Structure 1
Amino acid sequence: MKKAFLLATVLAAPLWGMAQKSNLDAAQLLRDVQVLSADSMQGRLSGSEGNALAQDYILGRFKELGLKPYNGDFKQHFRIDAKRVQVDKATNLVGYIPGKSGKAIVVTAHYDHVGQRNGDIYNGADDNASGIGALLAAIAHFAKHPPKHTIVFAALDGEELGLQGARAFVENPPLPLQDILLNVNMDMLGINDKGELYASGTYHYPALKPYLQQVKPRPNAKLVLGHDQPEQGHDDWTGQSDHFRFHERGIPYVYFGVEDHPYYHKPTDDYEQVNKAFYPDAAALVIDFLERIDGKLERLPQKTQP
């Protein structure tokens, strides 16, 4: 994921104390990120031993939280044939919490990172152990508060090699694509000194804006809209993470992430850099949005054509 600074409009919202729905276990959230960004994971490059260790940890948490697998197996294997790396058995990890509507929301975050370079381990605490930590926190929430719509949780592989895991998911989905109402993608939620979490996607899907405006700010994090207009060039995040593969198929998305920081794709993207006050609140904002939209979402219009 690549991002840069952009002025945007902060969503107007009532005071934080008026409504807070998600009860997030901040200690567990941070523990998940700390484990996944440890040196032992070797930077989680697709196809590596460290990537396999990350898979094992995530699978253990899926089972602990009671997530259900499709056809008895959480693993979706696929091949990556990229310029830098060929991987015969890359692996998405996919499960779900059943709803009652027959339709689904797909929540994604990639667990791979860039591995090791010149003797340095690129631990990817923010990119994207933070997204996986929030995904696990969302599973924990909806396991206790059953959703209206089925929520599919996908920890995707191969994002750093060209959004390969997301491509594999939409090409071989565990449920019909026409039953997917929305993709919510999380990529880098853990480091922002201004307390700003961006929600990108309302330019293409303006019907999503009212749902995002209902999300109340937290003491250490607030939602900001932006980074989704074609004229913004590199500052347009539309094609810069896994949500793009859903967008290509006309599936509405919201992408939650922070702007670039000095640790992005550097060996210094370590657990110690994660903002321990901002990150739990940022993850809670995503869960609040999911809960609100799950209760009201029926069918969003397809993407606009600029």
Structure 2
Amino acid sequence: MRQQYFKIVLFSASLFALIPSIANAQSRFQFDTQSIENRIKNDIKILASDSMEGRESGTKGEMMAADYIVAQFKEIGLKPFYENSYKKSFDFLDGWVYGDSNNLTINNKVFKLGKDFYPLTFSENKSFEGDLVKVGYGIISPKDNMDDYKNLKNLKDKIFVIEASMPNNVSKSNDITDYESKIDTAIAKGAAGIIFINSDIKCDKPTRDLSSTVLKRPIPIIFADQLAYKLIMDGTVWKAKIKVDLKKVEKTGYNVAGYIDNGAKQTVIIGGHFDHLGFGGDGSRSPGSKEVHHGADDNASGTAGMIEMARYYKSVSNLKNNYVFVGFSAEEKGMIGSSNFLKSYTDVSNINFMINLDMIGRLDTSKKGLLINGTGTSTIWDSLIKVTQTNEFKIKTSESGMGSSDQMAFTLKDIPVLFFFSDIEPDYHKPSDTWDKINFPGEAKIIQYAEQIIDKADKMGKLTFVKLKEANNQTQKFKGVTIGVVPDHSYSGVGMRIDGIIDGRPGQKAGLLAGDIVLKIGEHEVNEIMSYMKALGFFKKGEKSTITIKRGEETLVKDIEF
């Protein structure tokens, strides 16, 4: 451990040697487009380098990126935002690992974890002993005239053996063929445990990755391979005992924040997340890749933009607001960093507005140009954008302050936001999102344009927040209704804690509040975010039910109409 820390220090020192040591922000920085371009290019090349290992939150790559941002803040002359520190830690759940007690026994023969079997991410930590029953592909599809359960009886409390592949006569687009659908069908038929096998050499085996975002089912679920598979296929079975033991992986991430104290009553937040996907895994669009996911556009570009704005605003006189510059972490884990930033903020009513820079490095002037979201969150944004003319690129605006980036946490606290974004490109969440593909002149122009908007807003006093009725809960992943609440992804207790309420939606009408913990929807238990979303899938628009919540020490039941 000491050796690893020593390597981090050495690498950080080599990075910081690249940073010029100059007296103060006002004398050392020029703000013409070319100078800005040169600085952001240097920042992005370092942040998106192989040595940063993809900057995944909770890793040494994140620590190195955080230290680089701190060094920039110090050189600029920003004050530490936290007490004697630029960094503030927070804990989060980051998936699962195999525990010490995973077990598979068939006819008293014990098999080896990893070689002969492994638990699947859908599994609950449970054990069960019982008879095996082969159910083929485990598919019921009237559309394809197929029912693997048709001639099977006495299935309750059996361990189902299910083929991981699917037959040729079933449409591959049919959603009843995926693992989750097969598992849910098996549970409905009485399965007390599931063993997946794979007899088709053309079919991939199920992933060994243990995700924190997959709905856990209430039974043990494994994949049998090698000797265990051969014994099951032998046909003389039988009884088996399955035990699944998965342990939570809890990690620590760091937000980085620097401060310009202008003695004002209000504060402007300018932020962008600096974390990315590390070596792939959850969120990667290159399945199975273990390469460094560089995250040059997502979001070294926004981080460099945030740092560059800190340089600029440190050089500006007579500002009417204080300014905080934040590098959020764990955005890729569910916007956890920005949520924690606000939870530790002393008084959010003093925040005037928030600017989010996320993926501003791939400006394409021949297509959409610059996207600015959140224009409906204050009465002034549209007019400011209209009077801030530019011939450099097209501008497309959207009223909503929601969406899958860090401005959402501020919107939910009734803070006006603007989210600057140059759109998703084919390299998004792939190892190929590298620094050499960044449009540096384009990003420099976006930064200058955003600064013109902020300069005007700075002189307009306290901005008025406008609460919009959002059309959709954009965190919803499953088919079914929505209730207009935003889950708190940093919460690791039982239930789903609400981070924000969308005005005019069923949750708000039912009297739910931020901080409430949802325990049950109707008769469906809610243990975490994924089971919350699954529970919503049982209802249709217009139906009425109840929602059980914990508020402080009280357990309350509210009526709700979807």
Who is 2:467 aligned against? 303
* Number of the residue aligned with 1:178: 349
CA 1:137–1:218: 2 relative to 1, 3 Å: farther
Number of the residue aligned with 1:157: 329
**Higher RCO (CA-CA < 8 Å; seq separation 6+):** 1
Higher mean displacement: 287-296 or 78-87: 78-87
The secondary structure found in structure 2 opposite 1:159 is coil
1:252 to 2:416 alignment: yes
- On the 8 A contact 2:299/2:359 being kept in 1, the answer is yes
Matched, 1:104 2:116: no
Indicate whether 1:72 and 2:84 are aligned. yes
Count of paired positions = 276
Q: CA deviation at 1:262?
A: 0.8
Residues 143 and 156 (structure 1), Cα distance of their counterparts in 2 relative to 1, 3 Å cut: same
Taking the aligned partners of 1:100 and 1:73, their CA distance within structure 2 comes to 20
Amino acid at match of 2:409: R
Q: What is residue 307 of structure 2 aligned with on the other side?
A: 136
Q: Superposed, which structure 2 residues align to 1:205-284 within 5 Å?
A: 205-217=378-390, 219=392, 221-226=393-398, 228=399, 238-284=402-448
More helix by share: 1
Bigger radius of gyration: 2
Amino acid across the alignment from 2:378: Y
CA contact (8 A) 1:218 1:281 kept: no
Which is richer in strand?
A: 2
* Structural RMSD (CA): 1.9
1:194 deviates by: 2.2
Deviation track 1:15-45 (CA, whole Å, cap 9, x = no partner) reads xxxxxxx645220111101110011111000
Paired position in structure 1 for 2:253: 90
Rounded Cα–Cα distance in structure 2 between residues aligned with 1:301 and 1:49? 39
Instruction: Tell whether the 8 Å contact from 2:427 to 2:433 is kept in structure 1 after alignment.
Output: yes
Give the alignment's TM-score, normalised by structure 1.
0.85
CA contact (8 A) 2:328 2:337 kept: yes
Q: Distance in 1 between matches of 2:53 and 2:387?
A: 40
Worse-matched range after superposition: 121-130 or 296-305 = 296-305
Say which SS state the counterpart of residue 160 (structure 1) adopts: coil
The letter for the 2-side match of 1:129 is A
Taking structure 1 as reference, are residues 74 and 87 closer, same or farther at Cα in structure 2, changes over 3 Å only? farther
Q: Once structures 1 and 2 are overlaid, which stretch shifts more, 37-46 or 202-211?
A: 202-211
Name the CA distance, whole Å, in 2 between partners of 1:250 and 1:122.
34
Distance in structure 1 (CA, Å) of the matches to 2:439 and 2:73: 25
The whole-number CA distance in structure 1 between the counterparts of 2:292 and 2:251 is 23
The separation in 2 between residues aligned to 1:38 and 1:156, in whole angstroms, is: 19
Conservation of the 8 A alpha-carbon contact between 2:384 and 2:456? yes
- The CA distance in 2 between the partners of 1:103 and 1:214, in whole Å, is 24
- Following TM superposition, by how much is the alpha carbon of 1:279 offset from its aligned partner in structure 2, in angstroms? 1.4
1:135 Cα offset (Å): 0.5
Shift in Å, 1:95:
1.4
CA contact (8 A) 1:199 1:225 kept: yes
CA distance in 2, matches of 1:225, 1:109: 19
> Percent of pairs identical after alignment?
27
Query: 1:111-156 deviations in whole A, cap 9, x for unaligned?
Result: 0001103321110000000001111110000111032100111100
SS of aligned partner of 2:375: coil
Question: Do 2:379 and 2:466's aligned partners in 1 also have CA atoms closer than 8 Å?
Answer: no
Cα offsets for 1:196-223 (capped at 9, x unmatched): 111101234343211222323153x343
